[in-house]
Amino acid sequence: MKLMWNGAVAGALAACLLAAGDPQWVRTKSAHFTVYSCAGTGSTQEMAQHFEFVYSFLQQALGELPPGGRPVYLVLFGAEKEYAKHRSNDWSAGAFHEFADRDIIAIGDPHQELATAVHEYFHLWASRQKLGLPLWLNEGLAQLYSTVRPTLGGQVVGDVPPGFASHLSRYGWIPLRTIVSARDYPPSDKDGSVSDFYREAWALTHMLELSADYRAKAGQILPAIQSGQSSEEALSRIYGKTMAEIEVDLRGYLPMIESRSEIYRLKLPKAARVSAFEPAPEDEVRAVLTQLREP
C-alpha cells in the first residue's frame, strides 16, 4: 500500500547511522537498485538479488517500464520492531513513496517481509506504467505477484499462506460488490477490515488469474476498466455472470486456493551482480533523511 512518509522515519534512519562503533548502514548497488541497509549484509544481498529477479519477471510478464525513470532506492530496517515505531499505521510492514528524483521502498524486517517488499515494488511498477488499476485489482495483483519465486525451469506465482482460505471463509468475508467498488481503504484495522479487504481482493484476483474457469478471459478485465467501465460492469460482461454468481464461484474456489499456483515459463537473464558493500556515505544518507522529512 502506498503510504505517506514523515520525519519519524527519517529519525529511525538517523539512529541507525549515528550508532557508536562501525557504521551500521551500508550501501550496495545492483543493475536497477541502490540499497541502504542496517539489516546485515547477508539479508541485504539476498534482498537485492531477489529484487533483480522480480524486475526481470515483471518486465517479461507485464512489459517494459517507460524509459528514463527515477532511480529506485531500497531502505531496509534491521528489524520489524524498529520500523514499527515509525510507520504511519499499525498494520503495514512496508511502504512505497514517490519523490521527484527517486522512488523509495522501505521495509521493516527483510527476514520476514520479503513478500511485502515485492508487494510495494509492484505498486511502483503499476504507477510507472500508469495502469490505472482500481483499488481491489491493484492490491490483488500486488499480493499475487509478491509470491513469485524461482523454480526449476520457471517461476512460481500464487503461493497462499496456510490457513488463508479458512480465515477468509469464517471471519473476513466482505460482500464482493463492496470489494470491487471500493475507492479507498477501510478507515482502520482495529476490526480486521483492512486485512480482510486485502485477503478478499487477493482471493478474487487469484481466481481470475489462475483458475481454469476464469483465467482465459482475465486479460480482458483491465482494458475494459480502462475504457470507462466499472469493475462490476467489466466482470459481469466479460464472464456473463452477475456479481452474486461470481461471489458464489469465489466461495467455492477458496477450499482449493491453497493448492493452486502457476509455473510461468519465462526466460529471464542470469542473476544480476550486486556490488561490494561499503559504509553508506553519511552525506547520502542525510540527503535521504532530509528528503523523507518533507511533507
Could you give the CA distance from residue 33 to residue 71 in angstroms, rounded to a whole number?
Answer: 7
Give the sheet arrangement for strand 103-107, strand by strand: 94-98, 103-107, 72-76, 33-37, 26-29, 278-279
pTM of the shown model = 0.84
Cell reading at 4: 505517506
Buried b (16+ CB within 10 A) or exposed e, 63-87: eeeeeeeeebbbbbbbebebbeebb
The candidate with the shortest Cα–Cα distance to 140, out of 181, 92, 192, 197, is: 197
Give yes or no for a contact between 109 and 80, defined as CB atoms under 8 angstroms apart: yes
Note the pLDDT of residue 22: 39
Note the pLDDT of residue 159: 92
CA distances from 217 to 49, 135, 224 (A): 33, 20, 11
Place of cell 511502483: 124
Note the pLDDT of residue 2: 43
Buried b (16+ CB within 10 A) or exposed e, 163-179: ebbeebeeebbbebeeb
Question: Could you tell me what percentage of the chain is helix, strand and coil, using 3-state DSSP and rounding each to the nearest 5?
Answer: 50, 15, 40
Q: Specify which residues 83 forms β-bridges with.
A: none
Q: Provide the residue-wise pLDDT of the chain in tens; the chain has 295 residues.
A: 444 334 444 444 444 544 444 347 889 999 999 998 888 888 889 999 999 999 999 999 888 888 878 899 998 877 766 665 545 555 566 678 788 888 888 887 787 788 888 999 999 999 999 999 999 999 999 999 999 999 988 999 999 877 777 777 676 688 999 999 998 877 655 555 667 888 899 999 999 999 999 999 999 999 999 999 999 999 999 999 999 999 999 999 988 888 889 999 998 888 778 888 998 888 887 776 566 555 5
The candidate with the shortest Cα–Cα distance to 175, out of 162, 163, 188, 193, is: 193
